[in-house]
Amino acid sequence: MSRSNETRAPHAEARDLATRRARIRELNDQFRVSLTGGRVMVTSGIRDLGPVGVLHAVAAVRTFADFNDGNDPHAEHDFGSVEVAGERVFWKIDYYDHRYQYGSPDPSLPGLTGRVLTIMLASEY
């Protein structure tokens, strides 16, 4: 006899959540570093930094590793802040369905999720 979610032990739910977040984190890191498996958007403010500025912004996002409780409270590696050409730059990964029309039903499942990395000036947030 299987137990429903309502009767599961709290520690099992916490373990499931931790496992799910670890998978989301892994997928986000793969996408952010490789820039494959999703879409990358840069805002007009980033474009205004010029071609070299855009390259530096993308490189800074790809190599970002300073995750902490302040910028990554859910431990999913979906947000960061870097400095590029004297400008504070934010990046954010959002989760959509595979058609990029609605939110993903489960970002831990790559077959159901399209990732979008947006790179923007902090002033554009």
Does 3 have pLDDT greater than 50? no
Q: Taken in order 59, 63, 67, 72, is the CA torsion positive or negative? A: positive
Model confidence at 1, in pLDDT bands (50, 70, 90)? very low
Residues 58-68 pLDDT 10s: 999 999 999 99
pTM of the model as a whole: 0.87
Query: Hunting for tokens 């474009």 — which residue is that?
Result: 47
Phi, psi of 34 (to 5 degrees): -90, -25
Residue 27: HSE in the Cβ half-sphere, 13 Å Cα cutoff = 23
Q: Which residue has the higher pLDDT, 54 or 3?
A: 54
Q: How far apart, in whole angstroms, are the C-alpha atoms of residue 97 and residue 85? A: 34
> Taking the domains of the chain in order of start, what are their residue ranges?
7-124
